[in-house]
Structure 1
Amino acid sequence: MHATDCTEEERAQFKLWLDEHPSHATEYVAMLEIWDLSEQLPAHAAASAPRPALRQVPPAPVVPVRTRRRWRAQLRAVTLAALALPLAAYGGWIMGWLPNSYEHFETQQNISRITLGDGSEVELNSTSELSFFNFRDERHVSLGSGEAYFHVTHDSAHPFVVSAGEGSITVTGTRFNVWRYEDSVVVTVTEGSVRVQSERQGNDSTLTPGMQASFKAGDLKPRVRSVDTQTALAWRDGKLILNDITLGEAVPLLNRYLEEPLILADQSTADIRIGGIYSTRDVSNLVKALPKVLPIKLEPQPDGTTLIRNRGARL
């Protein structure tokens, strides 16, 4: 009904549908509440508009901070020696045990764009955490949580390795996205190629543009499929695209932007389907409106989480 090419015949059919039952008008008004949320989408974020590979994003304050990390036993020993003798530090760099630079970044509610020490550019989604280590023989990134889109500076002599969850992603120069949610990791490639390896060494997969791999703890090999990269990377434009997927697939995407997570009551609830394009800045209001357009009810829990239950399911 909002399309510019909606015909008079279609409008007449819609009018007949409205008149068939009073509940139809109620459902339509409820859907309009969801539709109104789209007004908060950025004006430049139309799906049909061409977009550059990298764009300027107003950065949130990102302050490098020191954090403790687990290190290999030999790295601990070399680090202690390096504190006492600069020569030991140089030796650790030559041996490839110690990085010559370290950076740590965290984001809160905004997308931030950062440049790593090797010149690679990264866009960090909200509530994300990333550390960068520049070793002699490789560049290493640890994605502690959240999501990041990488434009890696090409350097075939120094591979760029991203550790996330129980796996790793290795490249020399390309553009790709990594999303870490609980013990699951999803990798999407937009340019070049990457090698994705799950927890079990030797069972890796090579991804090219338009391909996506996912894995979680214990997987023998990443699961690979073809995807629409515009949908997968819509977060960079402040959009959340749910393309007729189940609530089981949608809840992890919604939880990225909620202070307290949603929980599904059972499989019948997880199987309910949802679609639409929404603003990542107003996901909490989207969740509140869902019972008006889906056969679900929201049940706040004592721990602050919200349980989603199928209204038609037996208790």
Structure 2
Amino acid sequence: MTQDTLSEAEYDAITDAAAHWCMRLHAADCTEEERRAFTQWHDAHPLHAFEYEAMLEIWDVAEHLPRPESAPLVPLQQPSRSLRQYAIAAGVCALALPLAAYTGWNLGWVPDSYEHLRATDNVRQVTLSDGSQIELNLNTDLTFSNYKDERRVTLKKGEVFFNVSHDASHPFVVRAGEGNIRVTGTRFNVWLYEDQVRVNLIEGSVLVTSNRALPGDGLRLGSSMQARYKPGDYMPQISQTYPNDTSLAWRNGKLVLDNLALNEALPLINRYLDRPLMLADNSTGSIRVGGIYNIKELNNLANSLPKVLPVYLTRNKEGNPVINPMPQQPPKS
């Protein structure tokens, strides 16, 4: 089956399947067998992946729509036609029908603009629809929605530098991990790695909360301050940054490791690697590494480590490189 010979019925069938998989993969009772079947379907044809990504775009917007308390829950086990109609209806209500969109905008339910942005192999600079400027590090994925009462970024993975257009009546909120970063206009950096978040403030002020389900606006950061949080943190951890801080060197395509222990350096390195580097044990993590590296060439770093550090590499059963300390020579008698 090739894309230029598909009939309307075949296109409809693919759209049906994409809506079905979008619903099933978001369902709590989705099984591993279903996930394997989805992967097989997703990889079978480029149009499958395209249609599924389109359904995810609809889902991302529709999930912000409030459900009336009296509305019945939609059953997850429905025929694919009903699933398709549900997904498309959510998208139409959110993005297409002028009256519904106008009403939804006034109530703060529906954005008047929506963007899904990615950076893969290059640092990317983007001006958002509100005039804010952002820079995306490699392997970054986010969405931007402009609501009546707030501008909202959802950082799915990666790292972003924000230069937010000032608007005191229209705050700019970044959702990262389980927390929020809330501003009206300022310059700051957010890095989401696995389930941990780091916020570096360059100019202005931001409010950081580690759990948006908790009451309150969070802790306020001033210039040259940093906040970190992870799931389960009641409050972010706050610290000061220094003039020689190199955490934003990625904006110039560089990673600077200033004599860091490997257990601190690996999260900075692994975000750029196809296969993450692992440590053989805790003692290996205390070995220190330094240097300035091109972020596009970090996949070559693993093979170079034994040349500069007392280590050697093996591979674990998943195929990831493992850093092992070189055995110490026994003392001569």
Which AA in structure 1 matches 2:261?
T
- More off after superposition, 110-119 vs 206-215: 206-215
Corresponding residue for residue 106 of structure 1: 118
SS of the aligned residue for 1:92 comes to helix
SS of the aligned residue for 1:218 comes to coil
Instruction: Decide whether the 8 Å contact of 1:189 with 1:209 is kept in 2.
Output: yes
So what's the TM-score if we normalise by structure 1?
0.73
Residue 82 (1) aligns with residue 93 (2)? yes
1:272 Cα deviation from its structure 2 partner:
1.5
Offset from partner CA, 1:7-46 (integer Å, 9 cap, x none): xxxxxxxxxxxxxxxxxxxxxxxxxxxxxxxxxxxxxxxx
1:296 Cα deviation from its structure 2 partner:
1.8
Corresponding residue for residue 154 of structure 1: 166
Residue 214 (1) aligns with residue 225 (2)? no
Corresponding residue for residue 15 of structure 1: none
1:154 Cα deviation from its structure 2 partner:
0.2
1:202 Cα deviation from its structure 2 partner:
3.4
SS of the aligned residue for 2:153 comes to strand
Change (3 A) 1:173 1:203: closer
Which AA in structure 2 matches 1:291?
P
Residue 204 (1) aligns with residue 218 (2)? yes
Give me the whole-angstrom Cα distance separating, in 2, the residues matched to 1:80 and 1:258.
35
Offset from partner CA, 1:208-263 (integer Å, 9 cap, x none): 22111111111111111112464010000111111121111100110121111111
Structure 2 segments unaligned to the other structure (5+ residues)? 1-52, 72-88, 329-333
1:81 Cα deviation from its structure 2 partner:
7.9
Give me the whole-angstrom Cα distance separating, in 2, the residues matched to 1:257 and 1:85.
41
Which AA in structure 2 matches 1:128?
T
Change (3 A) 1:280 1:137: same
- More off after superposition, 226-235 vs 68-77: 68-77
Instruction: Decide whether the 8 Å contact of 1:79 with 1:98 is kept in 2.
Output: no
Instruction: Decide whether the 8 Å contact of 2:204 with 2:222 is kept in 1.
Output: yes
Instruction: Decide whether the 8 Å contact of 1:79 with 1:89 is kept in 2.
Output: no
Corresponding residue for residue 299 of structure 2: 284
Q: How many residues align?
A: 249
Corresponding residue for residue 325 of structure 2: 310
**Equivalent residue in structure 2 for 1:240, among 255, 267, 288:** 255
The percentage of counterpart residues that share the same residue type is: 49
Corresponding residue for residue 299 of structure 1: 314
Change (3 A) 1:203 1:297: farther
1:80 Cα deviation from its structure 2 partner:
6.9
Give me the whole-angstrom Cα distance separating, in 2, the residues matched to 1:304 and 1:209.
42
Give me the whole-angstrom Cα distance separating, in 2, the residues matched to 1:246 and 1:179.
20
Which AA in structure 1 matches 2:249?
A
Higher RCO, 1 vs 2 (CA within 8 Å, ≥6 residues apart): 1
1:281 Cα deviation from its structure 2 partner:
2.1
Mapping for residues 1-315 of structure 1, pairs under 5 Å: 66=54, 67=57, 68-69=59-60, 71-72=63-64, 74=66, 79=90, 82=93, 86-199=98-211, 200-202=214-216, 204-228=218-242, 230-312=245-327
Offset from partner CA, 1:115-147 (integer Å, 9 cap, x none): 111000000001100100000010000011000
Instruction: Decide whether the 8 Å contact of 2:302 with 2:321 is kept in 1.
Output: no
1:311 Cα deviation from its structure 2 partner:
2.5
Change (3 A) 1:260 1:113: same
Instruction: Decide whether the 8 Å contact of 1:102 with 1:131 is kept in 2.
Output: yes
Give me the whole-angstrom Cα distance separating, in 2, the residues matched to 1:280 and 1:79.
40
Give me the whole-angstrom Cα distance separating, in 2, the residues matched to 1:95 and 1:191.
32
SS of the aligned residue for 1:236 comes to helix
Which AA in structure 2 matches 1:221?
M
Change (3 A) 1:217 1:85: same
Instruction: Decide whether the 8 Å contact of 2:187 with 2:203 is kept in 1.
Output: yes
Which AA in structure 2 matches 1:255?
N
1:85 Cα deviation from its structure 2 partner:
5.1
Which AA in structure 1 matches 2:238?
V
Change (3 A) 1:145 1:81: closer
Give me the whole-angstrom Cα distance separating, in 1, the residues matched to 2:317 and 2:215.
42
SS of the aligned residue for 2:246 comes to helix
Give me the whole-angstrom Cα distance separating, in 1, the residues matched to 2:242 and 2:289.
17
Which AA in structure 2 matches 1:71?
E
Structure 1 segments unaligned to the other structure (5+ residues)? 1-64
